Amino acid sequence: MTERRRVVVTGVGAVTPLATGAERSWQRLLKGESGVGLITRFDATGFKTRIAAELKDFAPEDFIEKKKIRRTDPFIHYALAATAMAVEDARLTIDEHNAERVGVVVGTCIGGMTMYERNLDVLADEGSDKISPFFITGFIPNMALAEIAIAYGVKGPSQCVVTACATGGNAIGDAFRHIQYGEADVMIAGGAEAYIRPVGIAGLARMGALSSRNDEPTRASRPFDKDRDGFVMGEGAGILILEELESALRRGATIYGEVLGYATNIDGYHITEADSANQARCIRTALRDAALAPEQVDYVNAHGTSTPSNDRSETAALKLAFGDHARKLAISSNKSMIGHLLAGAGAVEAIFTLLTMRDSMVPPTINLETPDPECDLDYVPNVARPMQVNTAISESFGFGGSNAVVALGKFQG
């Protein structure tokens, strides 16, 4: 078998409920600041859940021409903006000399719900002739990666990943494989979501997935806490530039870290309840792929949704996967501050994991005030922790039992 090539991360970009930009979001994350508040996207009066983690300072016109803004959904805006920041951060030039060796894997759970709702209203109120001619190309899931490819002239491998909450992790992992096996030298990878819409919030609330702590928005997302009552919907995007090591070194690129391994599987068990044993298998498979012993992992960026059953299942999975070492791990959930970005979650959280290693600072899990007795590991409660982190995993587990685990490490030369 051909030797697998090493893959590093040379650029990152993020649009999150904390800030526009990965670095600004990271600094607020370390301070334990929450991006959760009352919903302003629409009138949520009468909704069971009236809180979400909305973008606060995002201006699409800073990244996209106005005509394209009108013709595309916000999830595409977020993806394009995060890509622009990641490409600039990587100091990456894409032209006729390398376009065929650059690819893109960007996913979304839902696609363009804003475009869909708006055109559904137009259809009902004004008739079929008034539907936007850009409706379909403005909302279907693969259009984020298509618009990225068009913007930069990308000609290489392409995928739109749709695996619910595991999407971002799967996108990074699939992009990693394309480079490992020589199909590309550079991959643009990540996920984007814009699902703070009436039908989205109502649907998730109806299934009992969302927190209804409406009077205390900033305290609503509380992974692993005994009093958690569901996740908080977030929005945004995360994009990483993955690059073959020799290519990155030739360019003199800044290297955030190395993608060491990846695994994905599906529980085949239940549409919303997790199978801890199978999640543990996914973790162990990712570690084998990375040639890591469990004892070599320092930190886990947890899926940590703040739902009663899933936090318990994830804790059980970590114990099964790591054995006694589980109690020595630092574990934290970024969702306590940014909510759940669905497809964007795994990508943004992988970026934060790389920054954890870069800065030797583990971000906290905020709102962890009364630990659940069944969630009895070290979740770095409430205050960031200085800590040397050389290896870490980022976990993403989705509805339907989709699992993705990405193993990351400090670049060792």
pLDDT tens track for 247-277: 999 999 999 999 999 999 999 999 888 899 9
Structure pTM? 0.97
pLDDT of residue 212: 97
The stretch 27-32 carries a mean pLDDT of 98
Other CB atoms within 10 Å distance of the CB of residue 328: 13
pLDDT tens-digit map of 306-354: 999 999 999 999 999 999 999 999 999 999 999 999 999 999 999 999 9
pLDDT of residue 220: 98
With 70 as the cut, is the pLDDT of residue 105 above it? yes
Degrees, nearest 5: CA angle 20-21-27: 100
Q: Are the beta carbons of 36 and 218 closer than 8 angstroms?
A: yes
Verify whether residue 165 is a known catalytic residue.
yes
* Catalytic residue of the set 77, 109, 178, 340: 340
The stretch 387-405 carries a mean pLDDT of 97
Token pair listed for 383:
């205050």
pLDDT of residue 1: 44
Token pair listed for 388:
């040397």
pLDDT tens-digit map of 149-203: 999 999 999 999 999 999 999 999 999 999 999 999 999 999 999 999 999 999 9
Verify whether residue 303 is a known catalytic residue.
yes
* Catalytic residue of the set 77, 282, 303, 375: 303
* Catalytic residue of the set 165, 178, 282, 375: 165
Other CB atoms within 10 Å distance of the CB of residue 68: 18
Degrees, nearest 5: CA angle 376-379-380: 135
First to last CA, the chain: 24
Query: Using 50, 70 and 90 to split pLDDT, how confident is the model at 3?
Result: confident
With 50 as the cut, is the pLDDT of residue 289 above it? yes
Among 159, 148, 178, 166, residue whose Cα is nearest residue 63: 148
Angle formed by the axes of helices 143-152 and 74-90, to 10°? 40
- Give the whole-number percent of the chain exceeding pLDDT 70: 100
Domain boundaries, the chain: 7-401
Handedness of CA 303, 309, 314, 315 (dihedral sign): positive
Verify whether residue 178 is a known catalytic residue.
no
What does the radius of gyration of the chain's CA atoms come to, in whole angstroms? 20
Q: Which fold has domain 7-401?
A: Peroxisomal Thiolase; Chain A, domain 1 (3.40.47)
